[in-house]
Structure 1
Amino acid sequence: MTPEPERAAAPQADALSAEAPSAGLRVGIVCPYSYDVPGGVQFHVRDLAEALIARGHDVSVLVPADDDTPVPPYMTSAGRAVAVPYNGSVARMTFGPRTAARVRRWLEAGEFDVLHLHEPVTPSLSMLALWLAQGPVVATFHTALVRSRALQVAYPLVRQSLEKISARIAVSEDARRTLTEHLGGDAVVIPNGVYVDAFSDAPTDPRWTGTPEAPTVAFLGRLDEPRKGLQVLVQAVPRVLERFPGARFLVAGRGDQGRADAIEALGDAASSVEFLGSITDDEKAALLSSVDVYVAPQIGGESFGIVLVEAMSAGSCVVASDLGAFRRVLDEGRAGALFSVGDPGALADALSDVLADAPRRAALVEHARRWVTRYDWSTVTAQVLAVYDMVLETRAAHGRVAQDPDAGAGPGAGLWPRLVESRREGETR
């Protein structure tokens, strides 16, 4: 049995009311990617569902999963998924007539006030649900790509159905840009969420705690995916060891071939690298709370950087590649050190510099501690609920107009265009 997966900006958020709708909404959430394999979208969907449930809403999540995969009681399995190359990774998705029938039954049984689809143009459950949807639809877009062949292929399949979407959310400016350039329209940016306290309160583990002579550096990610940048870190390790011979590198994540390739490339430096394999939620929190530095050497395909937020929450100093998404999560380098994407030498220098400069490291950690509160689920959930509230009010206003044209559209009409426009105005200030 596969264990349950690990838990994983201003103008847009400010435009959303902090007041959430009253408890009691029936919310259906659709996740396109399989719950069998950990991933950022799955973590986001799970945590959002649990945050909504904690606020008194009735939530049902539809997700691909094998029959023997344990899922929480609020999740419904749509059946086995197949592996499909996507966005530099391998996504596990499900599609076809049998799956469509399951989606239809779930929608009919749910009678949802709001249907919240994640990645609705990905050929999986969310696309099927969009085709079949009848009521208010909110869509969240996670993908960030300069050019996406997959989106170009999928667009004709969903072009007309996209009109069903009442409100669009992007998890970052990078994801929003991908959406607008490939599909048109616009979206409000609401970031991924993290339970900050779960990481800030996590105990340290003596196995992973560093010392000035033997600092510890952590990396988490799929070892077989080049875009996660393990190969960049591997090339940087020998250079860091020249300045810090006692440094230890703790690498967590799945991928036997990636591990074997890394060990071969490390050569004599392999003795300083410990491969932890897949770790649990509690172990991840303890690891991030224990190490001196968390390194994120990704080379592309990142729309947000949830593990950076987790590391900041845990009090680890972050060193990350200078991707647009990472820069924004790290407050343009004020909440973590940045280095040139894909440059092992630049990574080695940035990592060595923060290890050698304890006051600077402490300053980065302190700024990150304050900055990270905007990503806490308490804040993010309120913003998502405000979008639900806006969609429902707009729908109710349109219903009143349909019944009585002289009544006017009411206060809900036009909220979405005004919300998007407020973001544009905020960007130009």
Structure 2
Amino acid sequence: MRVGIVCPYSFDAPGGVQFHVRDLAEELIRRGHTVSVLAPAEESTPVPEYVVSSGKTVAIPYNGSVARLNFGPVVGARVRRWVEQGDFDLLHLHEPFLPSLSMLALWAADGPVVGTFHTSMERSRGLQAISPIVVPMLEKLTARIAVSAEARRTLVQHLGGDAVIVPNGVYVDRFADAPKDPGWVGTDERPTIAFLGRLDEPRKGLPILADAVAPVLAEFPGARFLIAGRGDATEERELLARHGDSVTFLGGISDAEKASLFASVDVYVAPQTGGESFGIVLVEAMSGGALVVAADIPAFQAVLDDGALGRLFHRGDAASLARTLVEVLGRREANAVLRERAAAAVRRYDWGTVTSQVLAVYDLVLSTAHAPVREDPRSRTMFGRIRAAAQGGDRPWG
């Protein structure tokens, strides 16, 4: 099967969606399929050989973070050329409602198209404003996938329709078999607690963790907090500097180092305040053997099975986080049950299982397809069709 996958976000600053696209592409290739991924990337950015760059991006604030996207007539021409030359049996577009490559590919393509929705958000005026344009266009999707119940809720709430849930994937054994780093391994006297995330994104929750450090150290003076991630966090660094070597900022870490971190530490903390549709890092941490302590946002509650696979604390409440960490650190042997239960549960997210579920969707789509993917000639007048849709005229794809 020839599959074209479109990633809207730049490979210059990889995140959850980019890693999802990369791993899915490589698993499909491993199974004998031919895959081409279209994604934004600078010329100097190293990308896998199956990735075709669509060029430079623009940073746009989105859902509490910053998305690097590219869009416009020049990019649209590149997308149409990629679609026409790809001779794909099927297209798989990620986040097709964003003004990005995926939306352009949806305009450009005619044939079997699958869309995957990753985003979770509350009511969005922006999405409501563009829904008269986006909803008719989304009817071109032959099938829809949501990576979680939260992503499905966002799709249904904002754009209508429905989707089958196929979760994000993890190569579980890469984390389970990762070597421990002696410098990160905790002991009874010096347990280790890790955080990983963008330090300058408030929704990742570093300020909440920072406020919880002192109460934890009051009960466990030997505890060590390992904080990994890119971004400036001047205020938190200054606040935590008074704790000396009890807090270590690791900076950005590689995939291998991340796996080693999760295999080494006693506890992984996820203090995010919202905007998460799944919680792939929780699955990675559980795969590595770390006990997860996470905020009780819906996505994390789902991954932790409402506390059966880890511990939950009240979102945004540093005192609740501190109490939970103190309880966890005080019952190290009892936590072994949670770890064993989590290690078994994460197998459902292994890429071997997840890719089979994605392929089942592909098979269903292709069973009803009458022709492979081709360029849709109507895409060449897309801006006129957008205007017509926005003004309540003819539907762009009716």
- Aligned counterpart for 2:17 among listed residues 24, 41, 49: 41
- Asked if 1:353 corresponds to 2:324, the answer is no
Partner secondary structure for residue 195 of structure 2 = strand
Give TM-score, length-normalised by structure 2. 0.92
Question: CA shift at 1:159, angstroms?
Answer: 2.4
Find runs of 4+ consecutive structure 1 residues off by over 4 angstroms: none
- Measured against aligned partners, the alpha-carbon deviations of 1:266-304 in whole angstroms (never above 9, x if no partner) come to 352254211111111110000110000000000000000
The whole-number CA distance in structure 1 between the counterparts of 2:126 and 2:211 is: 32
Q: Where do residues 413-428 of structure 1 align in structure 2 (5 Å cutoff)?
A: none
Q: Does the CA contact (< 8 Å) of 2:241 and 2:247 recur in 1?
A: no
Whole-Å Cα distance in 2 between the matches of residues 122 and 152 of structure 1?
A: 13
Mean Cα displacement is larger for which, 155-164 or 210-219?
Answer: 155-164
Q: What pairs with 1:93-242 in structure 2 (closer than 5 Å)?
A: 93-242=69-218
Distance (whole Å) between structure 2 residues aligned to residue 156 and residue 291 of structure 1: 49
For residue 274 of structure 2, what is the aligned residue in structure 1? 300
Identity %: 66
Contact 1:123–1:154 (CA<8 Å) still a contact in 2?
no
Alignment partner for residue 366 of structure 1, among 340, 345, 355?
340
2:264 is the alignment partner of 1:290: yes
SS, match of residue 121 in structure 2: coil
What residue is the counterpart of 1:6 in the other structure? none
Query: In the TM superposition, what is the alpha-carbon distance from 1:319 to its structure 2 partner?
Result: 0.4
- Residue identity opposite 2:294 in structure 1: A
Q: Which of 290, 306, 310 is equivalent to 1:332?
A: 306
Whole-angstrom CA distance in 2 between matches of 1:329 and 1:396 = 38
> Which residue of the partner structure matches residue 63 of structure 2?
87
Q: CA deviation at 1:353?
A: 0.8
SS of the residue aligned with 2:208? helix
In structure 1, the gaps of 5 or more residues are 1-24, 398-429
Gaps of 5+ in 2: 372-398
Q: Aligned pair 1:70/2:46, yes or no?
A: yes
Contact 2:71–2:99 (CA under 8 A) maintained in structure 1: yes
1:146 is displaced (CA, Å) by: 1.2
Tell me the C-alpha RMSD between the 2 structures: 1.1
Aligned equivalent of 1:401:
none
2:271 maps to a residue whose letter is P
Aligned residues: 371
Specify the alignment match of 1:341 in structure 2. 315
Within 2, Cα distance between the matches of 1:66 and 1:237? 39
Partner of residue 394, structure 1: 368
The letter of the residue matching 1:237 is V
Of 323, 333, 350, which aligns to 2:297? 323
Alpha-carbon distance, 1:170 to partner = 0.3
Aligned partners of 1:27, 1:282: CA distance in 2, in Å?
A: 28
Q: Is the Cα–Cα contact under 8 Å of residues 194 and 225 in structure 2 kept in the other structure? A: yes
Residues 66-89 of structure 1 deviation map (CA, whole Å, 9 limit, x = unaligned): 111000000000000110000000
